[in-house]
Chains A and B, each alone.
Chain A
Amino acid sequence: MTALLALCRKELASLFATPTAYLVLTMVALVTALIFFDHLRLYNQILFVYATATMGGFDADAIPDHVNLWNNVFAPVMENLGLTLMAAVPLVTMRAFAEERARGTDELLLATGLGPGRIVLGKFAVCFLFVALMMLVSFVYPCTAVRQGGIGMEHLAAVFTGLLLHGLALASIGLVCSAFTSSQLVAAVSGWAVAFLLWDFSWANAFVSEPVAAFLDAISLHPRFGSFSEGLVSLANLAYYAGLPLVAMALARLSFDLRRIGS
């Protein structure tokens, strides 16, 4: 445990030693704010158009039910936030393993007896922590809107859980990509590519058989994320999001074994 904590402390120090972490946090906060306030502005415009349509002054009863804070602000902001994270998270995860490999310090770490398992665990833990911080930063505005709109805390908790799990899934993908290369650029680009590919496979339905389409749907990120965004928490979706980091950790661990075997 001492060794793992030492690695986590060092990973945090290294993460915040470069401007990347600060830039990514700032970028996500700014983009979220921009998307949120833009949707809020549009929502207010729509409200105004409906309420003044009768030309008899402001009439709140003239606003249809489907025009509400949830449908017009919260849901689209969540969708956009999911995509924003896909762009931002690989920028954080790219250095985790690739930088160590490029500098040769991975061998120094391995020679300390820390072991690949604990190295993988420590690096995943710190990246997960960072993603959770990113979630907190980006969740402030939607929370404000939700409280104003009278949406229940259970619903909000489900959405936040979904967003967090989505972020952790993206971090897992990025970390695996980083574990198999010594180039941070390759790690980031492949992280984006895999995440965007996994985002939604519905486009492939027309080209593949039904079982394959069902399989592709089962491994897609978007249906699970969308389900949480609607406030629905299912065991299957939780299992998906729990399984993805475990598979990713196993693959990252495998990258160490493959290098030990060499070729």
Chain B
Amino acid sequence: MSGAAAGPPHAPAPGRAPEISVRGLSRRFGPHTALADVDLDVPAGAIFALLGANGAGKTTFLRIVTGTLLPSAGEVHVAGISPADDPARVQARIGYVMETSRLYPELRVQGFLRFLAGVRGLARAEREAAVERAIERFELAPVAKRLVGNLSKGYQQRVSLAQAFLHDPPLVIVDEPTGGLDPVQRREVQELLRALRGERTILLSTHDLGEARELADRVAVLHAGRLVAEGAAAELLGRGDPLALFRAAPAEAGR
């Protein structure tokens, strides 16, 4: 990986205000509570993993942070800006990596990246440079002219990662980055993410304990919409049976 080809670094700085600050966040869908009274700070410059079983509320949390979903209660701030009040400003700071299938299969890789750079508002020269940089960084040159729909899942995930870095955002949100990938592809994507450490803030949603342990500086565990544990990855996932965190009630797990 040519990790050095990226833009300006966003190194973690102790004492800096958190990149994401969440207070009393709740989200209900009719009678179902997806998130309940979540308080969380994501430090600037860290790789922060949001852990939880399927249906724990991770994607709902990410959608609220990106401003595509409104909270039922509570407050979220990204670099001091509320995504509920000013989604466009928050989204300008965010690169969002969704699950593999959420791409445009009918576009060619280069065309897809140009399109995303365009909707990010990059002017022509800037856009071409950003696309070139992304293709180089995520090693997409061999498939640049191929249709996104004809790529392997591993390459599709690289394309998905590449689009999130086009506008050089200080915060990258990655939802289930290795879901559905084979072990080799999984390793490749994890190496790509590891190369980003210290460069900018990464919020990673996963249900893979090993992935969180390997990649993250800090971890928060969601269970049935509640935050049941939060702390340094090595400390939280290195003790006892980490799987218990997926089942624990908040009082049992502690904070």
Roughly how many angstroms separate A114 CA and B115 CA in the complex, as a whole number?
12
Q: How many residues of B are counted as interface, with CB atoms below 8 angstroms from the partner's CB atoms?
A: 35
Q: Which residues of B contact A2 (CB under 8 A)?
A: 118, 121-123
Which among A3, A107, A109 has the greatest number of chain B C-beta atoms within 10 A?
A107
Contact of B70 among A103, A108, A262 (CB under 8 A): A262
Which residues in B have their C-beta under 8 angstroms from that of A105? Answer: 102-104
Question: Is B92's beta carbon under 8 Å from chain A?
Answer: yes
Contact partner, A108, options B92, B102, B122, Cβ 8 Å = B102
Q: Which of A6, A10, A111 contacts B68 (CB 8 A)?
A: A111
Interface size bucket, A side? Answer: 20 to 34
Question: Which residues 115-169 in B have Cβ within 8 Å of A in the complex?
Answer: 115-123
User: B102 touches which one: A6, A7, A10, A104 (CB < 8 A)?
Assistant: A104
Would you call A109 and B119 a contact (CB within 8 A)?
yes
Kindly specify which of A11-19, A59-67, A148-156 makes contact with the partner chain: A11-19
Partner of A110, one of B68, B104, B121: B68
The count of A-to-B residue pairs whose CB atoms sit within 8 angstroms is 89
Contact A113 B120 (CB under 8 A): yes
Binary interface encoding of chain A residues 14-56 relative to chain B, with 1 for a CB under 8 A from any of its CBs, else 0:
1001100000000000000000000000000000000000000
Inter-chain contacts of A261 with B (CB < 8 A): 70
Minimum Cβ distance to chain B for residue A161 (Å): 33
Minimal beta-carbon separation of B209 from chain A (angstroms) = 26
Question: In the complex the two chains form, what is the Cα distance from A7 to B116 in whole Å?
Answer: 9
Q: What are the residues of chain B within 8 A of A262 when measuring CB–CB?
A: 27, 29, 69-70
DSSP majority for the A interface? helix
From B102, B115, B122, contact of A107 by CB (8 A): B102
Tell which of A5, A9, A112, A261 has the most Cβ of chain B within 10 Å.
Answer: A112
Cα–Cα distance between A246 and B89 once the two chains are bound (Å): 27
A109 to B120, CA, bound (A): 10
Residues of B within 8 A of A3 (CB): 118-121
Partner pick for A5 among B63, B107, B116, B118, CB 8 A cutoff: B118
Most chain B beta-carbon neighbours within 10 Å: one of A3, A10, A111: A111
Identify the stretch in B93-101, B198-206, B211-219, B241-249 within 8 Å (CB) of chain A at 4 or more residues: B93-101
User: In residues 247-263 of chain A, which contact B (Cβ within 8 Å)?
Assistant: 260-263
Kindly report which residue of chain A lies nearest to residue B63, judged by CB atoms.
Answer: A107
Cβ of A243 within 8 Å of any chain B Cβ, yes or no, is no
- Residues of chain A within 8 A (CB-CB) of B101 are 103-104
Complex Cα–Cα for A115 and B89 (A): 11
How far is it, in angstroms, between the C-alpha of A262 and the C-alpha of B33 when the chains are bound?
12
- A263-B94 in contact (CB<8A): no
Q: Interface readout for A88-119 with B: 1 if CB under 8 Å, 0 if not?
A: 00000000000000011101111111110000
Question: How distant is the Cα of A22 from the Cα of B33 in the complex, in angstroms?
Answer: 46
**At the interface, yes or no: B30 with Cβ under 8 Å from chain A?**
yes
Closest to B126 in A: A2
**Is B68 a contact partner of A13 (Cβ separation < 8 A)?**
no
Write out the residue numbers on chain B whose beta carbons fall within 8 Å of the beta carbon of A112. 91, 96, 116, 119-120
Q: Determine the distance from Cα of A17 to Cα of B91 in the docked complex, in whole angstroms.
A: 29
CB–CB A107/B98 < 8 A = yes
B111 within 8 A of A: yes
Given contacts A111-B66, A111-B68, A113-B91, contact A103 B119 (CB under 8 A): no
Complex: A109 Cα to B29 Cα, angstroms:
23
Question: Which B residues lie within 8 Å of A18 (CB)?
Answer: 106
- Of B63, B69, B102, B106, which contacts A17 at CB under 8 A? B106
Determine if B88 is an interface residue (Cβ-Cβ < 8 Å).
yes
- Measured CB to CB, the nearest residue on chain A to B66 is A111
Q: What is the CA–CA distance of A103 and B101 in the complex, to the nearest angstrom? A: 7
* Residues of B bordering A, CB below 8 Å: 27, 29-30, 63, 66-70, 87-89, 91-92, 94, 96, 98-99, 101-104, 106-107, 111, 114-123
Q: List 24 A-B contacts (CB under 8 A).
A: A3-B118, A3-B120, A6-B115, A7-B115, A9-B118, A10-B104, A10-B107, A10-B118, A14-B104, A14-B106, A14-B107, A105-B104, A108-B102, A110-B67, A111-B96, A112-B96, A112-B116, A113-B87, A113-B91, A113-B120, A115-B88, A260-B69, A262-B29, A263-B29
Q: Which 8 A-B pairs have the closest CB atoms?
A: A6-B118, A113-B91, A17-B106, A111-B96, A104-B102, A10-B115, A3-B119, A113-B88
Interface residues of A (CB under 8 A from B): 2-3, 5-7, 9-10, 13-14, 17-18, 103-105, 107-115, 260-263
Give me 8 other A-B pairs in contact (C-beta within 8 A), A10-B107, A262-B70 excluded: A10-B115, A17-B106, A17-B107, A107-B63, A111-B96, A113-B91, A114-B119, A262-B27
